Amino acid sequence: MAITVVIAEDQARYRDGLETLLTHQPDFEVLRTWESARDFVRRAEESHRRGGGPPADLVLTDIEMPGMSGIEATRALKRLWPEMTVVALTVFEEPSTILEAICAGVDGYLLKTISAKELLAQLRVITSGGAPMSGGVAKTVLGLLRDHGTPKGVEPSRLSLSDREQEVLRCLVRGSSYKQVAADLSISLDTVRTHIRKLYKKLQVHSVAEAVSRAIREGLV
């Protein structure tokens, strides 16, 4: 079954190019494109009030748009449908923007400078539970973790995270899929899922994005 996609992007040329690229992939189906995140969110909120489900499996959103930013749109959409996947496509590499987007709930953060081939590969990572990030962005996230120093929130020891759980959490922060975590740590996919279920319970979160967000905010890895 194809992954349904909605695109929110105010630059017509990039929006049209992205739609064309995905339309020619058998595993993606573009349902609609929007040039205004505000209009998209308003329509999504109306649908939610009527009892409608998520507008798509995957939302691709720019960060900076007139009226409402992609970060604000992500917060609004995640409040309605926490399970919906939202990926930021942007030119911004500033650590503060990346951190704000992750804390808002984005499931991936990709730079528009990546190739079409790499973009498709990263988007497909989502289907296996990954949290895709462009290489430079992943490096910035790790730098944020190092720069945070002493956690201001709950200490890892108080959460009773095991060494293995912290290793799995580090992998998630780097944007690894479940399969990549299993390969990197030389454990089975079922074991990865078990560790992630335990992480969710200990961190009191319900998604990879929430786990990564808390890990970064509180310096848990």
| pLDDT band for position 219 (cuts 50, 70, 90) | confident
178, 90, 60, 102 alpha-carbon torsion, rounded to 10°: 50
Q: What is residue 153's DSSP assignment?
A: S
Domain assignment present for 214: yes
**Are 168 and 92 found together in one domain?**
no
pLDDT of residue 127: 62
Q: Where a domain ends, among 82, 105, 135? A: 135
**Are 171 and 127 found together in one domain?**
no
Q: Where a domain ends, among 89, 104, 135? A: 135
> How many domains are contained in the chain?
2
Interacting residues of 106 by C-beta distance below 8 A, sequence separation 6+: 71, 74, 86, 87, 88, 209
pLDDT of residue 149: 44
Residue 184 to residue 186: CA distance in whole angstroms = 6
Interacting residues of 168 by C-beta distance below 8 A, sequence separation 6+: 181, 185, 192, 195, 196, 199
Query: CATH no. for residue 77?
Result: 3.40.50.2300
Mean pLDDT of 95-111: 83
Residue 166 to residue 162: CA distance in whole angstroms = 6
Whether the predicted pLDDT of 157 surpasses 60: no
Domain assignment present for 142: no
Q: Amino acid identity of 186?
A: S
| pLDDT band for position 139 (cuts 50, 70, 90) | low
195, 60, 20, 93 alpha-carbon torsion, rounded to 10°: -90
Q: Which domain holds residue 203?
A: 149-218
Compare 70 and 101 and report the one with higher pLDDT. 70
Q: Give SS3 for 34.
A: strand
Residue 45 to residue 157: CA distance in whole angstroms = 40
Whether the predicted pLDDT of 55 surpasses 50: yes
For the chain, how far is it from start to end, CA to CA, in angstroms?
36
Q: Where a domain ends, among 93, 113, 135? A: 135
**Are 118 and 85 found together in one domain?**
yes
Predicted TM-score of the model (pTM): 0.70
